[in-house]
Amino acid sequence: MIRYCLLTSVAVLGLYGCTSSQSSYFPTVPKITYENLNTIPVGVSRIVMTSDTQRGAQPWDMANDLPNPPDKTLQRYLNQRYEAKGRNGVLNVVLRKADISRDSVPNDNALLSFIPLANNEDYVFEIIIDLESQYQSGSPNMRTTKRFVRRVKMPLNVTMDYREAKLQRTLEEMVRDIDEAMIETLSNQFNIIAAKDVPNRSIYLETKVPKKATGMGNVLDNISTSLTGGTDEYREKMRVEEARQEAAQRNPDYKTPVLVEPLPAE
């Protein structure tokens, strides 16, 4: 009986994959421009922004799959956010890394963990930025490197629209983290942003994440329930995850855990 149900589940998965691949898809997320972002005056005569990233050079890097790739999004943010207003000195901003990796992770459900098509997806965003101030009159040269990481576990039962919006929302959250860290560094460590020019509000997040729509995950949940009667622990995990995502939608200032750590200067 179990063997028959497993074969049926595989057939359902194959049918679902065929039908979903035939449906047309158009991006629905907005373009991230930061054109309404307030500009911050920086006490240097010149700001030099460069990028050493090689988007998509690694087979695991899926940054090209986003309508707004991380490196382009950060360049728009940096160009809009900071303006040189000093008499001397140079601020160098180097974007060293802006990658998104994707990994397939076995489903939390004991039965579904044996079905490759039932795997969840883990996405890891990683951005590394060098900051360096030079030739500042009366001040020593300053240099630091900062690394930003966010992880997103994408449940199975999500639509393409949801996945794309969730990934872009995560990128916007990362830029907000970077904004806060850069302003703190440039004002308190480099002393090239005046206290009166420090913003008192976080960057507004443009992308709205839709609720999860019916998809393959619901099909698999039904198969699992028919075979095992369901797993209370699994359903509780999904309930907690859905509640967390709804909280993030209601509160624009909600932040998922993020690693922000300085790296030793080379």
State pLDDT tens for residues 193-248.
999 999 999 999 999 988 765 454 444 444 444 444 445 555 566 566 666 666 66
- What is the predicted pLDDT for the residue at 104? 73
Rounded distance between C-alpha atoms, residue 244 and residue 246, angstroms: 5
Rounded distance between C-alpha atoms, residue 28 and residue 38, angstroms: 26
Judge whether residue 115 has pLDDT over 60.
no
Judge whether residue 257 has pLDDT over 60.
no
Read off φ and ψ for residue 109, nearest 5 degrees.
-70, 130
Lowest pLDDT segment from 78-87, 136-145, 217-226, 247-256: 217-226
Residue 110 pLDDT grade (very low, low, confident, very high; cuts 50, 70, 90): low
Judge whether residue 265 has pLDDT over 70.
no
Judge whether residue 192 has pLDDT over 80.
yes
Judge whether residue 75 has pLDDT over 80.
yes
List the structure tokens of 250.
Answer: 């209601």
Query: Which residues have a Cβ under 8 Å from the Cβ of 235 and sit 6 or more positions away?
Result: none
SS3 content of the chain, % helix, strand, coil (to 5): 40, 25, 35
Read off φ and ψ for residue 182, nearest 5 degrees.
-65, -45
- What is the predicted pLDDT for the residue at 237? 61
Residue 250 pLDDT grade (very low, low, confident, very high; cuts 50, 70, 90): low
User: pLDDT digit string (tens) for 30-48?
Assistant: 889 999 999 999 999 999 9
- What is the predicted pLDDT for the residue at 50? 94
Q: What is the pTM of this model?
A: 0.70
Lowest pLDDT segment from 19-28, 103-112, 130-139: 19-28
Q: Considering only CA atoms, which of 47, 237, 76, 50 is closest in space to residue 134?
A: 47
Domain chopping of the chain, boundaries? 2-263
- What is the predicted pLDDT for the residue at 234? 52
- What is the predicted pLDDT for the residue at 183? 97
Q: Considering only CA atoms, which of 54, 21, 26 is closest in space to residue 164?
A: 26
Contact 79, 179 (CB under 8 A): no
What's the chain's average pLDDT? Answer: 76
